[in-house]
């Protein structure tokens, strides 16, 4: 008496991996086949024993903190590999250390060489830090479902909404006729100060336009950067600093910025 | 800073699976300190690859990295395991009616015996049991983590269970 189904389907039945028709078939079969029924019973007993034995290990105390602190030393925004590499070494024990050292010796050499020739590698500039902050704000505004505090497509609703909330009055323009309708605004923080965030839409995409007064920069040209699939443009005009960030194409974003500029200071174009 | 944001996103997504990661590392390295080191290294690796993570099953993604890190580590720090014999027969023991000795053995297996029996299994069998019985993973998830086919998962799982049952039976046989 050797049932062909025992080895083929009993484990799958136990693990809930059979499709519906096979499951029903096995249920009927198990009532008449002693061999399959006994196999199932034993497999269940094994499972019960393993559960009863509570064999799973929980991470020991302190491991989480150890990992977090090693992550903290790892991979900053602008030059991910370099700092991640050096810092991670401090937490690895000798066998791993040796391995990493061997694996990355060549890389390290490259970085040292690059360090001498590329000043850009020597850490983020204040503008790069600001760019990172702008990007984070943009991503967070989309993720946390906190895109807008005031929802309106009317610039005459959005602009007064900022009164009393900010110590400046941001220029608010609707660009609906240009294909970039204003959909709302909110307060945000960048570099520790309150800024106005104006939200525009381009088809299914959102553009965050951050505005704050900054007398320290004179009217400056637009600079375009792209990070992690997002495009960013920054410029200054009339004592305000502007940052636009979105996942629209660089071309669309440039178009948006050009149109905003035209509205805000018609004389400039 | 963007690095901070990325790290926070990573920690939120990945740290909840720390226990699963450590458990797999602990069972594969069979040593607490090594498991901690390997887990930590795996998290650093995962952080480096985080940009490449395409969404989907985070736990399976992480455990794949943990497993690879474990095997790299084992390869460099442990003598190779004696080759796994593939000739074992799935034993269908005598069809005695009434009391089933194996069932009794399984029902009375204590934690220490079980632990030893599992620890003595070859790595490839131990890992499928850990993933299936402790992490509750589906065959598909196990196949992804171990980079093998579904058929291989099923045959390894069957062999793993058979071996475990045999060694539990043998262990209990010796005691009584």
Residue with tokens 């800024």: A195
Residue with tokens 């998962």: B153
Number of H helices, E strands in chain A: 9, 7
Q: What are phi and psi of B158, to 5 degrees?
A: -65, -45
In a domain, B158, yes or no: yes
Residue B149, class by beta-carbon neighbours within 10 Å (0-12 exposed, 13-18 middle, 19+ buried)?
exposed
Q: What are phi and psi of A197, to 5 degrees?
A: -115, 115
This prediction's pTM: 0.52
Closest-CA residue of A relative to B76 is A95
- B46 vs chain A: nearest CA distance in angstroms? 10
**For residue A116, what pLDDT is reported?**
62
**Partner-chain residue, chosen from B1, B32, B106, that has the shortest CB–CB distance to A46:** B106
pLDDT in tens, A80-102: 444 445 555 555 555 666 666 76
Instruction: Quote the CA–CA distance of B17 and B144 in Å, as a whole number.
Output: 17
**Same-domain check for residues B107 and B64:** no
- CB contact (8 A) between residue A42 and residue B106: yes
- In sign, the C-alpha dihedral spanning A177, A200, A78, B56 is negative
**Same-domain check for residues B51 and B108:** no
- B5 vs chain A: nearest CA distance in angstroms? 7
**Same-domain check for residues B107 and B169:** yes
Sort out which chain B residues have CB atoms less than 8 A from A139's CB and list them.
Answer: 5
- CB contact (8 A) between residue B15 and residue A64: yes
- Taking residue A87's Cβ as centre, other Cβ atoms within 10 Å add up to 18
Q: What is the spatial order of strands in the sheet that A240-246 belongs to?
A: A150-151, A182-190, A193-202, A205-213, A240-246, A230-237, A220-227
Residues facing A78 on adjacent strands: none
In a domain, B82, yes or no: no
Sort out which chain B residues have CB atoms less than 8 A from A89's CB and list them.
Answer: none
**Same-domain check for residues B151 and B115:** yes
Beta strands A193-202 and A205-213 are antiparallel
**Helix B2-14 vs helix A126-143: angle between axes, to the nearest 10 degrees?**
40
Closest-CA residue of A relative to B12 is A68
Sort out which chain B residues have CB atoms less than 8 A from A57's CB and list them.
Answer: 19, 22-23, 26-27, 35
3-state SS, residue B107: helix
**Same-domain check for residues B111 and B63:** no
In a domain, B89, yes or no: no
**For residue A83, what pLDDT is reported?**
46
Give the domain CATH number at B140. 1.10.10.10
CATH (residue range A126-268): 3.30.200.100
Per-residue pLDDT of chain B (176 residues; tens, 9 = 90+): 557 888 888 898 899 999 999 999 999 999 899 999 999 999 999 998 887 777 778 899 999 999 999 999 888 887 766 555 444 444 444 444 456 777 877 877 788 888 999 999 999 999 999 999 999 999 999 999 999 999 999 999 999 999 998 888 766 655 54
Break chain A into its structural domains and give their ranges.
Answer: 4-52, 63-121, 126-268
In a domain, B94, yes or no: no
pLDDT at A51 over 70: yes
Q: How many domains does chain B have?
A: 2
Give the domain CATH number at B48. 1.10.1740.10
Instruction: Quote the CA–CA distance of B91 and B166 in Å, as a whole number.
Output: 9
Q: What are phi and psi of A139, to 5 degrees?
A: -65, -45
Parent domain of B68 = 2-77
**Same-domain check for residues B71 and B105:** no
- Tokens representing B157 are 């799982």
Range list of H helices, chain A: 4-14, 20-32, 34-52, 63-72, 80-89, 94-117, 126-143, 155-161, 250-264
- Taking residue A226's Cβ as centre, other Cβ atoms within 10 Å add up to 11
On whether the CB atoms of residues A236 and A229 are closer than 8 A, the answer is no
Average pLDDT score over residue span A152-159 = 83
Which residues, in sequence order, are CB contacts of A262 under 8 Å at separation 6+?
A: A268, A269
Percent of chain A with pLDDT over 90: 17
A 21-50 → B contacts, CB under 8 A: 34-35, 38-39, 41-43, 45-50
**Same-domain check for residues B105 and B73:** no
């Amino acid at each position: 008496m050797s049932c062909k189904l025992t080895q083929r389907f009993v484990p799958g039945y136990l693990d809930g991996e059979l499709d519906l028709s096979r499951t029903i078939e096995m249920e009927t079969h198990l009532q008449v086949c002693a061999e399959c029924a006994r196999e199932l019973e034993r497999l269940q007993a094994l499972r019960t024993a393993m559960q009863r034995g509570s064999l799973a290990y929980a991470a020991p105390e302190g491991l989480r903190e150890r990992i977090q602190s090693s992550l903290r030393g790892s991979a900053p925004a602008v030059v991910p590999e370099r700092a991640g590499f050096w810092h991670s070494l401090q937490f690895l024990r000798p066998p791993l250390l040796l391995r990493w050292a061997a694996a990355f010796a060549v890389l390290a050499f490259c970085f040292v060489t690059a360090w001498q020739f590329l000043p850009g590698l020597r850490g983020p500039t204040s503008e790069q830090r600001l760019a990172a902050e702008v990007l984070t704000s943009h991503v967070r505004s989309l993720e946390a479902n906190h895109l807008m505090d005031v929802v309106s497509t009317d610039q005459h609703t959005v602009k007064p909404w900022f009164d009393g909330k900010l110590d400046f009055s941001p220029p608010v323009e609707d660009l609906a006729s240009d294909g970039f309708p204003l959909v709302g605004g909110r307060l945000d923080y960048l570099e520790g100060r309150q800024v106005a965030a104006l939200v525009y839409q381009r088809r299914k995409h959102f553009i965050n336009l951050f505005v704050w007064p900054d007398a320290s920069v004179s009217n400056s040209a637009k600079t375009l950067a792209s990070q992690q699939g997002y495009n960013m443009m920054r410029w200054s005009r009339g004592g305000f600093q502007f940052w636009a960030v979105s996942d629209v194409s660089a071309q669309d974003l440039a178009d948006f910025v050009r149109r905003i500029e035209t509205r805000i200071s018609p004389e400039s174009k | 800073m963007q690095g901070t944001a990325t790290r926070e996103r990573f920690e939120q997504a990945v740290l909840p699976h720390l226990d699963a990661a450590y458990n797999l590392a602990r069972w594969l390295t069979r040593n607490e300190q090594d498991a901690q080191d390997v887990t930590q290294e795996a998290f650093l690796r995962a952080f480096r690859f985080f940009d490449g993570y395409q969404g989907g099953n985070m736990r399976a993604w992480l455990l794949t990295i943990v497993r690879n890190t474990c095997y790299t580590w084992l390869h460099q720090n442990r003598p190779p395991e004696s080759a796994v014999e593939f000739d074992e027969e799935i034993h269908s023991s005598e069809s005695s009616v009434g009391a089933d000795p194996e069932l009794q053995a399984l029902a009375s297996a204590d934690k220490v015996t079980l632990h030893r029996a599992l620890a003595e299994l070859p790595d490839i069998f131990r890992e499928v049991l850990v993933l299936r019985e402790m992490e509750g993973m589906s065959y598909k998830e196990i196949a992804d983590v171990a980079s093998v086919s579904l058929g291989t998962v099923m045959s390894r799982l069957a062999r793993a269970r058979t071996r475990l049952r045999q060694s539990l039976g043998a262990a209990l046989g010796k005691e009584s």
